[in-house]
Protein backbone atom coordinates (compact mmCIF):
# COMPACT_ATOMS: atom_id res chain seq x y z
CA UNK A 1 0.00 0.00 0.00
CA UNK A 2 2.91 2.36 0.63
CA UNK A 3 4.08 2.64 -2.99
CA UNK A 4 0.47 2.62 -4.16
CA UNK A 5 -0.38 5.67 -2.10
CA UNK A 6 2.60 7.62 -3.35
CA UNK A 7 1.86 7.14 -7.03
CA UNK A 8 -1.88 6.79 -7.60
CA UNK A 9 -2.35 10.44 -8.55
CA UNK A 10 -0.31 11.24 -11.65
CA UNK A 11 1.99 14.23 -11.23
CA UNK A 12 3.75 15.47 -14.35
CA UNK A 13 6.81 17.69 -14.46
CA UNK A 14 6.95 18.30 -10.71
CA UNK A 15 9.86 17.53 -8.40
CA UNK A 16 8.92 14.91 -5.82
CA UNK A 17 10.90 16.47 -2.98
CA UNK A 18 10.66 19.70 -1.03
CA UNK A 19 12.53 21.23 1.88
CA UNK A 20 9.42 21.23 4.03
CA UNK A 21 8.26 17.66 3.33
CA UNK A 22 11.51 15.80 2.67
CA UNK A 23 12.19 12.33 3.97
CA UNK A 24 14.93 11.97 6.54
CA UNK A 25 18.11 9.95 6.07
CA UNK A 26 18.50 6.47 7.43
CA UNK A 27 15.93 3.90 8.44
CA UNK A 28 14.70 2.92 11.88
CA UNK A 29 14.86 -0.85 12.21
CA UNK A 30 12.62 -0.94 15.28
CA UNK A 31 9.28 -2.67 15.48
CA UNK A 32 7.29 0.56 15.17
CA UNK A 33 9.11 1.58 12.01
CA UNK A 34 8.60 -1.86 10.48
CA UNK A 35 4.87 -1.69 11.15
CA UNK A 36 4.52 1.88 9.91
CA UNK A 37 6.45 1.12 6.74
CA UNK A 38 5.17 -2.39 6.10
CA UNK A 39 1.50 -1.47 6.46
CA UNK A 40 1.94 1.40 4.02
CA UNK A 41 0.64 4.22 6.21
CA UNK A 42 3.86 6.23 5.83
CA UNK A 43 3.13 6.66 2.11
CA UNK A 44 0.31 9.12 2.80
CA UNK A 45 2.89 11.85 3.47
CA UNK A 46 4.31 11.59 -0.04
CA UNK A 47 0.80 11.48 -1.49
CA UNK A 48 -0.08 14.75 0.27
CA UNK A 49 3.16 16.34 -0.93
CA UNK A 50 2.52 15.29 -4.54
CA UNK A 51 -1.05 16.54 -4.46
CA UNK A 52 0.05 19.89 -3.04
CA UNK A 53 2.91 20.33 -5.49
CA UNK A 54 0.62 19.53 -8.40
CA UNK A 55 -1.81 22.23 -7.28
CA UNK A 56 0.96 24.76 -6.57
CA UNK A 57 3.04 24.20 -9.70
CA UNK A 58 2.04 27.59 -11.14
CA UNK A 59 2.22 29.51 -7.86
CA UNK A 60 4.89 32.01 -6.91
CA UNK A 61 7.73 30.67 -4.77
CA UNK A 62 6.76 32.61 -1.66
CA UNK A 63 3.14 31.43 -1.83
CA UNK A 64 4.25 27.87 -2.49
CA UNK A 65 6.55 27.88 0.56
CA UNK A 66 3.83 29.32 2.77
CA UNK A 67 1.31 26.72 1.66
CA UNK A 68 3.75 23.85 2.05
CA UNK A 69 4.52 25.00 5.60
CA UNK A 70 0.82 24.64 6.37
CA UNK A 71 1.19 20.97 5.47
CA UNK A 72 4.07 20.33 7.88
CA UNK A 73 1.79 18.20 10.11
CA UNK A 74 1.80 15.77 7.14
CA UNK A 75 5.59 15.50 6.98
CA UNK A 76 7.09 12.02 7.47
CA UNK A 77 8.66 12.97 10.80
CA UNK A 78 5.42 14.42 12.18
CA UNK A 79 3.31 11.46 11.05
CA UNK A 80 5.85 8.90 12.24
CA UNK A 81 5.86 10.55 15.65
CA UNK A 82 2.06 10.28 15.81
CA UNK A 83 2.05 6.69 14.58
CA UNK A 84 4.84 5.66 16.96
CA UNK A 85 2.99 7.25 19.88
CA UNK A 86 -0.14 5.36 18.84
CA UNK A 87 1.69 2.03 18.69
CA UNK A 88 2.82 2.56 22.28
CA UNK A 89 -0.80 1.89 23.28
CA UNK A 90 -0.66 -1.60 21.73
CA UNK A 91 0.27 -4.58 23.88
CA UNK A 92 3.39 -6.65 23.23
CA UNK A 93 1.20 -9.43 21.86
CA UNK A 94 -0.52 -7.02 19.47
CA UNK A 95 2.82 -5.66 18.24
CA UNK A 96 4.04 -9.21 17.68
CA UNK A 97 0.88 -10.00 15.73
CA UNK A 98 1.28 -6.93 13.54
CA UNK A 99 4.88 -7.86 12.78
CA UNK A 100 3.84 -11.40 11.86
CA UNK A 101 1.27 -10.02 9.41
CA UNK A 102 3.69 -7.51 7.89
CA UNK A 103 6.36 -10.21 7.43
CA UNK A 104 3.99 -12.83 6.01
CA UNK A 105 5.03 -14.03 2.54
CA UNK A 106 1.52 -13.43 1.19
CA UNK A 107 1.67 -9.81 2.35
CA UNK A 108 5.09 -9.45 0.71
CA UNK A 109 3.70 -10.87 -2.55
CA UNK A 110 0.85 -8.36 -2.42
CA UNK A 111 3.29 -5.47 -2.05
CA UNK A 112 5.27 -6.83 -5.00
CA UNK A 113 2.17 -7.05 -7.22
CA UNK A 114 1.27 -3.45 -6.44
CA UNK A 115 4.85 -2.25 -7.02
CA UNK A 116 4.88 -3.88 -10.45
CA UNK A 117 1.51 -2.36 -11.32
CA UNK A 118 2.72 1.08 -10.27
CA UNK A 119 5.69 0.86 -12.58
CA UNK A 120 3.36 -0.13 -15.42
CA UNK A 121 0.87 2.70 -14.92
CA UNK A 122 0.63 4.73 -18.12
CA UNK A 123 2.11 1.96 -20.28
CA UNK A 124 0.24 0.63 -23.33
CA UNK A 125 -0.44 -2.64 -21.49
CA UNK A 126 -1.98 -0.81 -18.54
CA UNK A 127 -4.13 1.38 -20.80
CA UNK A 128 -5.29 -1.62 -22.86
CA UNK A 129 -6.32 -3.40 -19.68
CA UNK A 130 -8.34 -0.38 -18.53
CA UNK A 131 -10.09 -0.29 -21.90
CA UNK A 132 -10.91 -4.01 -21.68
CA UNK A 133 -12.07 -3.51 -18.10
CA UNK A 134 -14.58 -0.89 -19.23
CA UNK A 135 -15.81 -2.98 -22.17
CA UNK A 136 -15.74 -6.42 -20.53
CA UNK A 137 -15.98 -6.20 -16.73
CA UNK A 138 -14.72 -9.23 -14.77
CA UNK A 139 -17.11 -11.63 -13.09
CA UNK A 140 -19.06 -10.08 -10.23
CA UNK A 141 -17.46 -12.50 -7.77
CA UNK A 142 -13.97 -11.38 -8.85
CA UNK A 143 -14.84 -7.70 -8.48
CA UNK A 144 -16.34 -8.35 -5.07
CA UNK A 145 -13.14 -10.08 -3.96
CA UNK A 146 -11.04 -7.08 -4.92
CA UNK A 147 -13.56 -4.71 -3.36
CA UNK A 148 -13.15 -6.67 -0.15
CA UNK A 149 -9.37 -6.35 -0.32
CA UNK A 150 -9.56 -2.61 -1.02
CA UNK A 151 -11.96 -2.17 1.88
CA UNK A 152 -9.68 -4.12 4.21
CA UNK A 153 -6.60 -2.06 3.33
CA UNK A 154 -8.53 1.23 3.73
CA UNK A 155 -6.72 2.60 0.65
CA UNK A 156 -9.62 4.69 -0.60
CA UNK A 157 -10.27 6.21 2.82
CA UNK A 158 -6.67 7.34 3.20
CA UNK A 159 -6.53 8.82 -0.30
CA UNK A 160 -9.82 10.65 0.14
CA UNK A 161 -8.60 12.07 3.45
CA UNK A 162 -5.41 13.26 1.75
CA UNK A 163 -7.34 14.92 -1.07
CA UNK A 164 -9.75 16.74 1.24
CA UNK A 165 -6.92 17.86 3.52
CA UNK A 166 -4.84 19.32 0.69
CA UNK A 167 -7.90 21.02 -0.80
CA UNK A 168 -8.77 22.50 2.59
CA UNK A 169 -5.27 23.88 3.22
CA UNK A 170 -4.93 25.27 -0.31
CA UNK A 171 -8.51 26.61 -0.29
CA UNK A 172 -9.23 24.88 -3.56
CA UNK A 173 -12.29 23.15 -4.95
CA UNK A 174 -13.07 19.47 -5.38
CA UNK A 175 -15.63 18.01 -7.75
CA UNK A 176 -18.71 16.77 -5.94
CA UNK A 177 -18.08 13.20 -7.12
CA UNK A 178 -14.39 13.03 -6.25
CA UNK A 179 -14.89 10.33 -3.61
CA UNK A 180 -16.59 7.95 -6.05
CA UNK A 181 -13.93 8.68 -8.66
CA UNK A 182 -11.17 7.88 -6.17
CA UNK A 183 -12.83 4.61 -5.16
CA UNK A 184 -13.22 3.57 -8.80
CA UNK A 185 -9.59 4.43 -9.56
CA UNK A 186 -8.35 2.39 -6.61
CA UNK A 187 -10.50 -0.62 -7.52
CA UNK A 188 -9.40 -0.56 -11.17
CA UNK A 189 -5.76 -0.34 -10.12
CA UNK A 190 -6.17 -3.33 -7.83
CA UNK A 191 -7.96 -5.35 -10.52
CA UNK A 192 -4.92 -4.76 -12.73
CA UNK A 193 -2.35 -5.42 -10.01
CA UNK A 194 -3.92 -8.74 -9.03
CA UNK A 195 -5.13 -9.84 -12.45
CA UNK A 196 -2.86 -12.92 -12.41
CA UNK A 197 -3.33 -13.71 -8.71
CA UNK A 198 -5.69 -16.55 -7.81
CA UNK A 199 -8.89 -16.08 -5.84
CA UNK A 200 -7.43 -18.22 -3.06
CA UNK A 201 -4.40 -15.93 -2.72
CA UNK A 202 -6.57 -12.81 -2.70
CA UNK A 203 -8.75 -14.34 -0.01
CA UNK A 204 -5.66 -15.18 2.06
CA UNK A 205 -4.33 -11.64 1.70
CA UNK A 206 -7.70 -10.15 2.64
CA UNK A 207 -7.75 -12.29 5.78
CA UNK A 208 -4.41 -10.80 6.83
CA UNK A 209 -5.66 -7.26 6.31
CA UNK A 210 -8.92 -7.98 8.16
CA UNK A 211 -7.14 -9.39 11.20
CA UNK A 212 -8.65 -7.55 14.21
CA UNK A 213 -5.29 -6.17 15.34
CA UNK A 214 -4.44 -4.92 11.84
CA UNK A 215 -7.87 -3.31 11.54
CA UNK A 216 -7.44 -1.60 14.90
CA UNK A 217 -4.08 -0.25 13.74
CA UNK A 218 -5.42 1.04 10.41
CA UNK A 219 -8.52 2.59 12.01
CA UNK A 220 -6.64 4.36 14.79
CA UNK A 221 -3.81 5.46 12.47
CA UNK A 222 -6.37 7.05 10.16
CA UNK A 223 -7.92 8.81 13.16
CA UNK A 224 -4.63 10.51 14.14
CA UNK A 225 -4.06 12.06 10.72
CA UNK A 226 -4.06 15.88 10.75
CA UNK A 227 -7.45 17.55 10.62
CA UNK A 228 -8.13 20.44 8.27
CA UNK A 229 -11.03 22.67 7.37
CA UNK A 230 -13.46 21.06 4.96
CA UNK A 231 -12.90 21.74 1.25
CA UNK A 232 -15.31 23.45 -1.09
CA UNK A 233 -17.19 21.43 -3.67
CA UNK A 234 -18.31 22.49 -7.11
CA UNK A 235 -21.89 21.51 -7.93
CA UNK A 236 -24.13 23.00 -10.61
CA UNK A 237 -21.99 26.11 -10.79
CA UNK A 238 -22.20 26.79 -7.05
CA UNK A 239 -19.75 26.24 -4.21
CA UNK A 240 -20.50 24.25 -1.08
CA UNK A 241 -18.12 24.34 1.89
CA UNK A 242 -18.22 21.35 4.24
CA UNK A 243 -16.76 23.31 7.15
CA UNK A 244 -19.84 25.51 7.43
DSSP secondary structure string for all residues of 207-230: HHHT-HHHHHHHHHHHHTSPP-PP
Q: Is residue 240 part of a domain?
A: no
What gap in Å lies between CA 96 and CA 98, rounded to an integer? 5
* Number of CB atoms found within 10 A of residue 177's CB: 11
Q: Is residue 106 part of a domain?
A: yes
| Domains in the chain, number | 1
The parent domain of residue 66 ranges over 2-227
Decide: 176 and 242 in contact? Cβ < 8 Å. Answer: no
- Per-position pLDDT tens, the chain of length 244: 544 344 444 332 222 233 333 333 333 348 999 999 888 887 787 778 777 777 777 777 777 777 777 778 888 888 899 999 999 999 999 999 999 999 999 999 998 998 899 889 889 999 999 999 999 999 999 999 999 999 999 999 988 888 888 777 777 777 788 899 999 999 999 999 999 999 999 999 999 999 999 999 999 999 999 875 444 443 343 323 333 3
Question: Which H helix or E strand runs over 193?
Answer: helix 178-193
Q: Is residue 89 part of a domain?
A: yes
Q: Is residue 244 part of a domain?
A: no
Q: Is residue 29 part of a domain?
A: yes
Q: Is residue 235 part of a domain?
A: no
End-to-end alpha carbon distance in the chain: 33
Strand partners, 240: 233
Backbone angles phi, psi at 107, to 5 degrees: -65, -40
pTM of the model: 0.76
Q: Is residue 243 part of a domain?
A: no
Q: Is residue 80 part of a domain?
A: yes
Amino acid sequence: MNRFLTSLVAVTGIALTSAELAYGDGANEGAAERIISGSGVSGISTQVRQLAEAQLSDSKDIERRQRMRQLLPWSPSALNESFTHLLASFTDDEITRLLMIIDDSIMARGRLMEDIALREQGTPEYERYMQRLAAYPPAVSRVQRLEGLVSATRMSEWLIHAQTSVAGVLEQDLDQGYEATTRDTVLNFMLYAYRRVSNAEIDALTRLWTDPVMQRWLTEALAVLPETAGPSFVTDGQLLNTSQ
